[in-house]
Amino acid sequence: AQSVTQLGSHVSVSEGALVLLRCNYSSSVPPYLFWYVQYPNQGLQLLLKYTSAATLVKGINGFEAEFKKSETSFHLTKPSAHMSDAAEYFCAVSGNFGNEKLTFGTGTRLTIIP
């Protein structure tokens, strides 16, 4: 069984400040981990994914995430927030066969303060 916990349903940061969105996972097998972003009234866009290669994963739009097995975490960061980063962010886990079902967290809404 797999699950994801996203700490903080709402996060607000000032424009130019560090973005940190937290995700902890539980998995009985080595996991694949994903971050998706959802803009209002749209589908999900893949930001980045961890598939057991490098533990520090770089994604689109300046985002990156680090897989920490000892902490069962996969937190998402961006050094400097931009107004266009305002959206809902979802962390997801799957088994390590890649195309298995995704189990999502409840999401974190990111607000950028001008």
Partner 1 sequence: ETGVTQSPTHLIKTRGQQVTLRCSSQSGHNTVSWYQQALGQGPQFIFQYYREEENGRGNFPPRFSGLQFPNYSSELNVNALELDDSALYLCASSLSTDTQYFGPGTRLTVL
Residues that bind partner 1 (CB under 8 A): 34, 36, 41-46, 49, 90, 92, 97-107
Contacts of 14 (CB under 8 A, 6+ apart): 81, 112, 113, 114
Nearer to partner 1, 70 or 101 (CB): 101
Distance between CA atoms of residues 113 and 92, nearest Å: 26
Closest separation in Å from C-beta 79 to partner 1? 25
Q: How far is the CB of 42 from partner 1 (least distance, A)?
A: 6
Give 43's contacts (C-beta < 8 A, 6+ positions apart). none
Q: Judge contact between 90 and 44, C-beta under 8 A.
A: yes
Using the minimum distance from each CB to partner 1, give the nearer residue, 50 or 78.
Answer: 50
Q: Hey, what are 91's tokens? A: 């962390």
Least distance to partner 1, CB of residue 82, Å = 21
C-beta closer to partner 1: residue 70 or 99: 99
